[in-house]
Amino acid sequence: MCIFCSIVKGEIPSYKVYEDDKVLAFLDIKPVNPGHCLVIPKKHLENIEEIDEEYLSHLVKIVKKIGNKIKNNLNVLGYNVQVNNDPIAGQEIAHLHFHIIPRQKNDNLKLFPQKNYNSGEAEEIVKKLIKE
């Protein structure tokens, strides 16, 4: 069984920060920074393509709510919201989850390295992405 489903069922303890009939938010057991939360759908869905838009909308509203609480109640300057979608993108647990990572000045958390497109590469990618 999925570890997040076990947390939802109460079989594994967690530090819950929010719960309703569709969503659960709890502290990440291995936080990047203190207050790092995970927001998950209670229904087992492996990635973002599997969730319907209404459910996703509700989930994102809770991400925003928890983000505001982190920012205001933990006195942080901001936060990152991240979804690792599929194992190749770093998803370690096959259950859709949003990370909310509190940020402080000089916390040494590095974001993605940026690159430049090669000549003509951006145009080719756009053609593929706008294709039905």
Domains and CATH numbers, the chain: 3-130 (3.30.428.10)
Active site (annotated) includes residue 99: no
- Would you state the pLDDT for residue 111? 80
pTM for the model stands at 0.92
Mean pLDDT of 14-41: 97
What digits encode the pLDDT tens for the residues 33-63? 999 999 999 999 999 999 999 999 999 999 9
Contact present, 42 and 59 (Cβ < 8 Å): no
Does the pLDDT at position 1 exceed 90?
Answer: no
CA 126 vs CA 15, 47, 114, 123, 129: distances in Å: 43, 24, 18, 5, 5
Does the pLDDT at position 132 exceed 90?
Answer: no
What gap in Å lies between CA 36 and CA 15, rounded to an integer?
11
Q: Of 17, 51, 38, 25, nearest to 93 (Cα)?
A: 38
Contact present, 47 and 85 (Cβ < 8 Å): yes
Q: Which of 44, 58, 95, 97 is catalytic?
A: 97
